[in-house]
């Protein structure tokens, strides 16, 4: 006991000294340290943390470590008296012997699981079956009031199997006046299409895979949905989802259309026009899926720095802590350390907390630091937060996400996914200008990158959000060199055991990016406005509605 007291005393002195020596930061420098960043990245990406997979001892080590760091800094627990938010997930593994049977006209198609169809259910049931369900082609399967579009207009799809295309009519036509032209909207994402079909009461969904609008080949569809799949588990066991979600390759679907006497090329082209009306196929679908099920409760780590006077309003800084764990089937290195992805972002949260705590200007609004789980399984931790927010969403000013910080040194620019969507741009512009850096929007908006990282989970619920994605115009080595480095990472280390910390990393660029993010967050916290989505954005209606409450 005495020893503990003495230790606490020593810590108190150390803290006083630390606070005293933070004084220089009050003269303008920001307390973000490359050394501390590296130290924390090395811990999070160490073999001891076992690749930080949700539901493993690696999760326990990671979430405890982050909690301790936040606590040591003096941040408050973000969930009552706890730094954790439990995230209820389910792991469903579909038996690969499934066959999808489609009777179209007088032809029978027995589609093979893997090469000819991929199907699964989010319903937490040992088995789901759909039998002789009528098939309807619903174009893009989109209901988008802000674009005056409704593919389900005038039809009842209850109990039916809806067939639809991936992406959206804007991409298909490249018409900038249709949706957002080349840039993908949320209506183009497969996740949306399954959700909308469930709202419409359909029994099953088949998305037609074409490589160009999907932005990835069939092998990715097949690979992504093979084996165990994590999802959130609602109290009713996800019974509000359609029974069966699936994909079929376009060439196979063209045969099925032809057997129903329909012209695939003609109809899929018409689907991108305003005159399109849903078309029934002369076809019925049957499939039965057997599942093995495992329940997992994982954790988001949430800490708060209360504001000085607008305490009930929040800016959220977020980064996922999880990675892919370990694969015992691998020879040699089995641990997916995820050093860049996303030990850098999680450690970045600690740096941001340091910056706010020792900055001369205290945030007026509260700052939430949230390390979310299960990003790698489909943004699950952040999606759970979006559905179960710990502070009201209409008091949440913005969410700013980090996923893979720059490890290649300073850049003249910064890329921001979500730039151009909301009035948050003004804050980014001001902060970037102070650093004499230029801002790039998403270089490939047609791939829907905006919808593939954690900030999107907040956007989807209406909260304006951004994702800072480092620059590419490297000051020391030039743009080509940096693009080569990034390409080398993507090809050789991304989602591989070799994503490890290296002494060759230059964190000066990450420090500058963190300073930029801090400046954006601080400016937001000092204001009293709620920067909104731009007119026409697909999330604006939701934001407007919640702000009226």
* Residues forming the site for Zn ion (CB under 5 A): 341-342, 403
Nearest approach, Cβ of residue 117 and Zn ion (Å): 29
Nearest-angstrom CA–CA distance, 320 and 458:
14
Residue nearer to Zn ion on the CB measure, 233 or 341: 341
Neighbours of 512 (CB within 10 A): 22
Contact 339, 37 (CB under 8 A): no
Nearest approach, Cβ of residue 44 and Zn ion (Å): 13
Nearest approach, Cβ of residue 285 and Zn ion (Å): 36
Residue nearer to Zn ion on the CB measure, 449 or 471: 449
Give me 177's structure tokens.
């006046």
Contact 116, 252 (CB under 8 A): yes
Q: Which residues contact 54 (CB under 8 A, 6 or more apart)?
A: 87, 89, 230, 296, 298, 322, 373, 374, 377
Neighbours of 21 (CB within 10 A): 10
Nearest approach, Cβ of residue 255 and Zn ion (Å): 38
Nearest approach, Cβ of residue 401 and Zn ion (Å): 10
Q: Is the peptide bond before 315 cis (omega within 30 degrees of 0)?
A: no
Contact 140, 169 (CB under 8 A): yes
Residue nearer to Zn ion on the CB measure, 245 or 341: 341
Residue nearer to Zn ion on the CB measure, 310 or 320: 320
Residue nearer to Zn ion on the CB measure, 37 or 242: 37
Contact 323, 53 (CB under 8 A): yes
Nearest approach, Cβ of residue 236 and Zn ion (Å): 30
Give me 215's structure tokens.
């932005």
Residue nearer to Zn ion on the CB measure, 386 or 449: 449
Neighbours of 17 (CB within 10 A): 10
**Helices 344-358, 57-73: crossing angle, 10 deg rounding:** 10
Nearest approach, Cβ of residue 89 and Zn ion (Å): 17
Phi then psi dihedrals of residue 175, to 5 deg = -90, 115
Residue nearer to Zn ion on the CB measure, 141 or 470: 470
């Amino acid at each position: 006991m005495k020893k503990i007291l003495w230790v606490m005393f020593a810590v108190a002195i150390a803290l006083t000294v630390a606070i005293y020596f933070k004084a220089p930061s009050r003269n303008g420098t920001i307390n973000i340290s490359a050394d501390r960043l590296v130290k924390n990245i090395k811990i999070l990406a160490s073999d001891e943390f076992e690749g930080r997979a949700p539901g493993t001892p690696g999760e326990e080590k990671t979430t405890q470590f982050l909690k301790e760091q936040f606590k040591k800094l003096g941040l408050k627990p973000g969930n009552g008296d706890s730094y954790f938010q439990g995230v209820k997930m389910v792991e469903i593994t579909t038996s690969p012997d499934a066959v999808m049977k489609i009777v179209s006209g007088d032809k029978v198609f027995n589609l093979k699981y893997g090469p000819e169809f991929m199907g699964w259910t989010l319903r937490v049931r040992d088995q789901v079956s759909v039998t002789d369900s009528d098939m309807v082609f619903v174009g893009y399967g989109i209901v988008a009031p802000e674009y005056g579009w409704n593919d389900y207009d005038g039809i009842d799809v209850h109990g039916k199997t809806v067939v639809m295309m991936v992406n959206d009519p804007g991409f298909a036509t490249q018409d900038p006046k249709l949706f957002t032209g080349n840039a993908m909207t949320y209506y183009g994402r497969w996740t949306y299409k399954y959700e909308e079909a469930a709202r419409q009461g359909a029994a099953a969904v088949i998305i037609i895979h074409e490589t160009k609008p999907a932005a990835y080949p069939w092998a990715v569809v097949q690979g992504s949905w093979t084996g165990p799949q994590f999802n959130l588990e609602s109290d009713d066991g996800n019974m509000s989802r359609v029974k069966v979600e699936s994909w079929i390759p376009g060439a196979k679907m063209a045969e099925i259309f032809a057997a129903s006497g329909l012209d695939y090329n003609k109809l899929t082209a018409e689907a991108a026009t305003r005159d399109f009306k849903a078309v029934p196929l002369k076809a019925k679908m049957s499939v039965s899926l057997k599942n093995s099920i495992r329940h997992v409760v994982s954790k988001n780590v949430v800490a708060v720095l209360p504001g000085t006077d607008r305490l009930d309003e929040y800016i959220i800084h977020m980064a996922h802590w999880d990675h892919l764990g370990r694969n015992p089937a691998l020879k040699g290195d089995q641990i997916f350390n995820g050093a860049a992805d996303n030990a850098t972002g999680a450690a970045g949260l600690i740096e941001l907390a340091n910056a706010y705590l020792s900055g001369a200007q205290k945030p007026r609004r509260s700052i939430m630091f949230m390390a979310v789980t299960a990003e790698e399984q489909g943004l699950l931790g952040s999606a759970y937060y979006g559905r179960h927010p710990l502070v009201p969403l209409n008091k949440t000013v913005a969410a700013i996400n980090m996923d893979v910080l720059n490890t290649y040194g300073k850049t003249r620019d910064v890329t921001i996914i979500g730039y151009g969507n909301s009035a948050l741009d003004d804050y980014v512009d001001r902060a970037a200008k102070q650093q004499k850096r230029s801002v790039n929007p998403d270089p490939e908006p047609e791939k829907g990158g905006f919808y593939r990282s954690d900030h999107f989970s907040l956007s989807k619920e209406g909260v304006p959000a951004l994702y800072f994605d480092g620059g590419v115009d490297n000051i020391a080595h030039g743009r080509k060199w940096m693009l080569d480095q990034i390409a080398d990472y993507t090809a050789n280390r991304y989602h591989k055991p070799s994503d490890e910390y290296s002494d060759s990393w230059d964190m000066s660029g990450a420090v500058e990016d963190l300073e930029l993010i801090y400046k954006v967050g601080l400016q937001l916290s000092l204001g009293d406005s709620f920067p909104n989505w731009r007119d026409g954005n697909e999330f604006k209606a939701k934001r407007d509605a919640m702000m009226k409450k």
